[in-house]
Structure 1
Amino acid sequence: MTTAVDVRGLGSGAAPARWLRVVPDTVTMAGRVLRLARRDPDELLVALLLPVMIMVLFVYVFGGAIEVGTDYLSYATPGVILLCAGYGASNTAIALVQDASTGIMDRFRSMPVADATVLAGHVLASTGKNLVTTTIVLAVAASIGFRSDAGALAWLGAVGVVTAYIVAITCAATLVGVVARTPAAAGGLGFVMLFLPYVSSAFVPPETMPAWLRGIAEHQPVTPVIETVRGLLIGLGSDGAPVGDLGATAAVALAWCAGIGVVSLTAAAWVFARRGR
């Protein structure tokens, strides 16, 4: 982080000087978050074991009893990816509350860095960590039989959609982190992120749900993201049938991610700055 700048006498030029270093300061803040995570063995253990446990649970415990019109491993893998990514991203809320409790936020505000870089650093670090988790999920899935005939462009598209989802959920977690007062309250978002994919097309077709629940499943943000990733990787929809043009579904998925991300991060920055004043 930037510490060698003397802000005395800068006057009205102090604020512009902060914003000129947004990118390097954001990278510095992200590096700090990653170093703290590396020193927490519990978080590292959960990040490594959770994807494996969830994949094994759904494929070997539930998979034999669920009929989706295709191989259940192929059907469920995109859902497990988003489930693990959402849970991992929600931990950003807890990290922000812990930062506030140690007084480090007050030190950051005394330095010539923009407030936004503190929050953006958490978002950047979370995105990096959860892309690693996504890689673990895919590696586990491949080891037990998952195969995809998707080309390079389809894989890039799937990774892009998953990344957009991770960024959006992390921004939502950032808002929770600056509003919540305790780690327990912030941790409640983790439960929501674990629950939301279940009420979607992640693990069962929405057509099998009651009418009132089906409406929720078909019109919440996780479903279009799942449908886009599944369509890109295995070319199937929620009903197990081949999909045609994914353009409309992908547009809805990205619109959800952009809306959640922009609204959440804007609100988080406003609350963070207001508390600082």
Structure 2
Amino acid sequence: MSTTYVVRDSVTMLRRNLLHWERYPSLAIMLVAQPILFLLLFVYVFGGTLGAGLPGVPGGGDRTDYLGYITPGILIMAVASVALGTAISVAMDMSGGIIARFRTMDIAKVSVLTGHVLGAVIKTLLTTVITLAVAVLLGYRSDAGVGEWLAAFGVILLLAFALTWLTVAMGLAADSVETASNTPMFLVLLPFISSGFVPTDEMPWGLRHFAEHQPFTPMIDSLRALTSGASPGSDLWLAIAWCLLIALAGYLWARRQYTKVPAR
């Protein structure tokens, strides 16, 4: 099949995927609202206490300082939240038999999964922009220039691409929509055990070791450095490596699961 047909079919599947947000507004609202609720919770409930303990802030920080510290972690949570919704969407297609039906049609087979991936990346961009806008309304400010912000959004989109392939595979492998909604929950929980909300130096040894070597910590540290106008150093390359590894593993798993779907 020619590249033209692959692109055409992928765009069709992308359009179908985006229409799901119109038909299931409750899911869209939940995915967008979740990172915003966490942002409000940590800033206004814990921000005063946690901000006072931030390192490198003379005399102790306040809620505004803590807002600047956790915003990168909240943006990563927004990416994970949309990825979770992708697993649910794929599982709904599986349970409804539509993916099996697509396999019998004269369309590019890769376009079925590509539509989900591209749709999730677009939704991630929208969700992160809305979350960042709320953070700005709360008082978040950045010293980063245009180049640093472009690099930050590049990290976000690369992570979205990687997590989406992983959750597409989870949705294909799930035996029900309920299973698909629960399996990727660790992606939303892992940022809590990272440098997203408190410095890892403040954690007990075992927890600190895990937090410093799990994938989300270099991603969050890279975003924090880029959005503050600083150099991310080796964290950026480590974050990119993690994203590529997750994307490759997710793609191979998704392709294997997709070939198992019986045609109808």
Deviates more, 1:103-112 or 1:45-54: 45-54
Q: What displacement does 1:64 show?
A: 1.0
| Higher Rg of the two aligned structures | 1
Q: Is the 8 A contact 1:115 1:269 kept in 2?
A: no
TM-score by length of 2: 0.91
Which of 24, 28, 34 is residue 8 of structure 2 equivalent to?
24
Matches within 5 A, 1:1-277: 16-17=1-2, 20-66=4-50, 67-69=53-55, 70=57, 71-235=65-229, 245-276=231-262
- Contact 2:34 2:81 (8 Å CA) reproduced: no
Q: Distance in 1 between matches of 2:48 and 2:177?
A: 38
Question: For the Cα contact (< 8 Å) 1:87–1:190, is it kept in 2?
Answer: no
- Letter of the structure 2 residue corresponding to residue 276 of structure 1: P
Is 1:154–1:233's contact at 8 Å kept on the other side of the alignment? yes
Structure-1 separation of matches of 2:174 and 2:220: 29
Unpaired segments of 5 or more residues in structure 1? 1-15, 236-242
Tell me which stretches of 4 or more aligned residues in structure 1 moved more than 4 Å. none
Alignment check: 8 A CA contact 2:68 2:140 kept: yes
3-state secondary structure, aligned to 2:261: helix
Aligned 8 A contact 1:54 1:80 in 2? yes
For 2:236 and 2:6, the matched residues in 1 are separated by 31
Question: 1:20, CA displacement in angstroms?
Answer: 4.8
CA deviation string 1:82-135 (max 9, x = no partner): 112201211111111110111211221111223221111101101111111100
The amino acid of 2:91's aligned partner reads V
Distance 2:11 2:196 in 1: 33
TM-score normalised by the chain length of structure 1? 0.87
- Determine helix, strand or coil for the equivalent of 1:276: coil
CA distance in 2, matches of 1:187, 1:46: 13
* Count of aligned pairs: 253
Distance 1:206 1:93 in 2: 30
Q: Distance in 2 between the 1:51 and 1:136 partners?
A: 10
Give the whole-Å Cα distance in 2 for the aligned partners of 1:259 and 1:198.
22
C-alpha distance in structure 1 between counterparts of 2:189 and 2:35, whole Å = 15
